[in-house]
Amino acid sequence: MTQTWQLSNPTLNGNARGRLEAELDRTEEREVEAQLHLRLIRELDDVALRQVEPAQRREMVERAVRTIAAEQFPALVGDMKEEAIAHVVDEVVGLGPIEPLLRDPTVSEVMVNGPADVYYERDGIIHESSVEFADEAHVHRIIDRIVNSIGRHVDEASPMVDARLPDGSRVNVIIPPLAARSPVITIRKFRLDRLTLEDLVSTNSMTDDMAELLSGCVRAKLNIVVSGGTGSGKTTLLNALSAAIAHTERIVTIEDPLELKLQQRHVIPLEARPPSLEGRGEVTQRDLVRNALRMRPDRILVGEVRGAEAFDMLQAMNTGHEGSLTTVHANTPRDALGRIEQMVLMAGFDLPIAAIREQIGSALHVIVQLARLSDGTRRVVNVTEVAGLEGHLVTLQDIFVFRQSGIDAEGKVLGELRATGIRPAFTDRLRAFGINLGEDVFNTSRWA
């Protein structure tokens, strides 16, 4: 009776009445979905369901839900029926309400801050979603489904966990009491396509000259660090750069978690392992870097250097394992060197700063700096040569830079990628590998 009075109450304006009607419709839809779900659980052979392939599993569940809906809710038709069936299927074989966002190829990240507080990223911009969970317990059920599938658990004693979905997407979960308001789920989706350097040129992430130079640096076995902030496209660029590695080379990749998708056949992917519930069995990236040195690699690719493995990586670069590539979280090329220096110190050796910087100056050749700009676009903003050591300071010189000139009326960042006019010292090495870029590549008059 109360609901009927509210809808007919003339004091409610049109917007309020519309919102209330939508809430009531959604409440009714949730009740239908709950009953469909309950009966499906009673009738479905869960053991048999787990034994079929994911695509067939979804088809099997959808057929069962349609049969139940026809029997139990014959008056349920049209869009409401299709939505109810889709929601139940997503709940049973997917990750519930966020499953449509995960299926959307244009969405790169999904963020659940609370039951009715879900966001997603598209084209570098975060948007608020209309997706909702029923309640906090519903969020917990989806979290349990994620972590149980990989033999992990999350509770008050272990309130944080990193996981990977079957498609390779990276998941981070944090729950109360660490997350004060609600369990939080963050999913970085795994790209199914491989972007090439040509693709990055076509999206204005870099210029043809930059792509030609970087491809040459990879083929000439220079050691390259890709630097940038979160979501700036470091892994995407590392994947694109790796395409220039010869198919005759043996490549060992080290990641936590696995994200690289190399095109070569002779690739050995290694993945770090967290400790077990009893606190045993941890395998760190440093352990894997050390082991990789015994595997006769032509190239070592560290997906992201984060800690003490930086020391072993520099040692490898300085002892004949040339052509290594890695990424690091930093906002400028100079900051990237500082971060690597700090991570070497984490290895626990009592090394003077001067010795560490000498290692860095002799091991690294190129830093490629990425940035996600205010309009969501991702761009290379610096290609910088590590020129060596002057006194106790590692010297850097920019070869290409991005200069922002403003923002247009639509919020798009305006700017130009240009050569600085500096000819890098490693061009002699490029020529030794048969790579002749030409003088024009470093000509300041050539604007992007």
Q: H helices then E strands: how many in the chain? A: 15, 15
Q: Decide: 226 and 370 in contact? Cβ < 8 Å.
A: yes
Note the pLDDT of residue 279. 74
User: Degrees (nearest 5) of the Cα angle 297, 286, 356?
Assistant: 95
Residues in the chain: 448
Q: Decide: 292 and 312 in contact? Cβ < 8 Å.
A: no
Return the DSSP state at 315. H
Kindly tell me the burial class for residue 157, based on how many C-beta atoms sit within 10 Å of its own C-beta (0-12, 13-18, 19 or more): exposed
Question: What string of pLDDT tens digits covers the 448 residues of the chain?
Answer: 333 333 344 444 555 545 544 454 667 777 887 788 788 877 776 656 666 777 787 888 888 888 888 888 888 788 888 888 888 888 888 899 999 999 999 999 999 999 999 999 998 889 999 999 989 999 999 999 888 877 778 888 889 988 888 888 889 999 999 998 999 999 998 876 778 999 999 999 999 999 999 999 999 999 999 999 988 999 999 999 999 999 999 999 999 888 888 889 999 999 998 887 677 888 999 999 999 999 999 999 999 999 999 999 998 898 888 999 999 999 999 999 999 999 999 988 888 999 999 999 999 999 999 999 989 899 999 999 999 889 889 999 999 999 999 998 888 999 988 999 999 999 999 999 999 887 788 877 654 4
Note the pLDDT of residue 15. 55
Nearest to 122 by CA among 413, 373, 377, 412: 377
Helices 285-292 and 309-318: angle between axes, nearest 10 degrees: 20
Q: Decide: 101 and 183 in contact? Cβ < 8 Å.
A: no
Note the pLDDT of residue 199. 94
Count CB neighbours of 343 within 10 A. 20
Q: How many CA atoms lie within 13 A of 190 on its CB side?
A: 15
Q: Return the bridge partners of 328, or none.
A: 227
Compute the Cα dihedral for 122, 379, 200, 298 and give only its sign: negative
Nearest to 69 by CA among 96, 38, 93, 36: 36
Run of H or E residues at 119: strand 117-122
Q: Decide: 293 and 272 in contact? Cβ < 8 Å.
A: no
- Sorted by where each starts, the structural domains of the chain and their CATH numbers stand as 1-93 (no CATH), 97-190 (3.30.450.370), 197-442 (3.40.50.300)
**Phi/psi of residue 111, each to 5°?**
-130, 115
Nearest to 369 by CA among 404, 405, 327: 327
Rg over alpha carbons for the chain, rounded to the nearest Å, is 26
Q: Decide: 275 and 282 in contact? Cβ < 8 Å.
A: yes
Q: In what order do the strands lie in the sheet with 393-407?
A: 267-271, 251-255, 299-302, 325-329, 224-228, 366-372, 378-390, 393-407, 413-419
Q: How far apart are CA 294 and CA 287, in angstroms?
A: 12
Note the pLDDT of residue 448. 44
Which phi-psi region, left, alpha or beta, contains residue 341 (left: φ > 0; alpha: ψ -120 to 50)?
A: alpha
